[in-house]
Chain A
Amino acid sequence: MVKFLKSNKAVIILHDFFVMRKAMIIRAFDGDTRERPYGHCLVADNAKYPKKFIHKDFAKKKAKKSRVKPFLKLVNYNHIMPTHYTLNVDLKDIVTLDVLQTRDKKVAASKEVKAHFEERFKTGKNKWFFTKLRF
């Protein structure tokens, strides 16, 4: 009876172009809003995972391989598989609903999200989130 679709929860996207990607819930809308009469949430995620790199790689190569490309999307709860992982990156201020209105805002927000994610990846925490789901 615990609500588990909360912010910072890691989920896996099941439908659409971003199938099998890991995402993080930024904001969960339980009830209905006018346009979306279903539960849905805002997610941020890697569109491109950082590739595995070996220590032997040159520093430049390492930097290239550990790039992260995020995407922002509103997803229906039905198209999400929640996990018990969480990601403690605070994206609530950067990514708000109006960010998705215009393309420029969206791009600007993704850049900030990217910075946060890459920072997180470099510290080595939340490894699960940054590895590709193999299936």
Chain B
Amino acid sequence: MAALRRLSLSSIPPLRRIVSRSFSSASNDDQTLLTIETSVPFTGHNIDPPSRSVETTPKELLTFFHDMSLMRRMEIAADSLYKAKLIRGFCHLYDGQEAVSIGMEAAITKRDAIITAYRDHCIFLGRGGTLLEAFAELMGRRAGCSKGKGGSMHFYRKETNFYGGHGIVGAQVPLGCGIAFGQKYCKDETVTFTMYGDGAANQGQLFEALNMSALWDLPVILVCENNHYGMGTAEWRAAKSPAYYKRGDYVPGLKVDGMDVLAVKQACKFAKEHVLKNGPMILEMDTYRYHGHSMSDPGSTYRTRDEISGVRQERDPIERVRKLILSHELSTASELKDIEKEVRKEVDDAIAQAKETPMPDPSELFTNVYVKGLGVEAFGADRKELKSVLP
């Protein structure tokens, strides 16, 4: 039995572990069940929170490490591509928040639905999207997940129930409730996670949709990714009550450490079971973004560099999992470094491949305006010069 090790992280309580084994084989056997405590307990609003002991396996933890590292690397690479002007327009990066996407995916199936706002690259990856599709879309190429016609804010993957990718703050919340309406109508026994930020949490349409979801017992989980800043406005300047998990009033809520992938997994699993029987619930993920709101925002005019580096040091989701893996001796430091190198290469290869793919054909200007175009004419800027028939 490996010795219990205390890790000295200054501001969070030490990780403790209780090991229970199903087989008497080596301690990093993939089938070993590990029970790990979350960093902090959950706080409930109108609901008894789940236990902070989370079951996981070595394989799952290593997968978490790999997948979060991949997301991290993708976002950092996107930063460089944006500065090289290969990505245009808006680019909202998710680095720091990876645990929310990964933890959620670990708790649900691809038949459950996810919808989010514009910080969607990693959610897309989590739903099974490929790096090539992501980078190609960012660079406006036809190999992109939206064939180059959507851009950074409009990634979708219908086949795994990822409904985008929305640019209008807060609009995705009623849409997500509508998807849950569909799931209930079709009796699919699946749920929808509709994600939004602390900035969107004050939107009126959120409360309209939440009211109807509660009235009609829709299987929807509202996930507030509270990274504490709505663009440049800190939560305390935008919300009279920044306790977003309580905002549902009669709708139960849970506050979760969004930098702890196991806590996220536990909360999402709990929420899914709850809403299938009882109607909507709010999860507030306490998380953080290292980048500014978007690539046009340095992110340091409204918060201190000390704050940013402090979170990176104390609460980084990938570092937390690395420490867990090492402390439980599920892998070695150098093996983890290899995973990171592999991930870097995967990302670099995908970018190189994406760069080679062509832009959409000019005829694509006029495709997908309608599903059924009825043979109607559509016009370009000079209608006598450029026009097309919509199929």
Q: Do A and B bind each other?
A: no
Task: Give the B-binding residues of A (Cβ under 8 A).
Answer: none
Task: Give the A-binding residues of B (Cβ under 8 A).
Answer: none
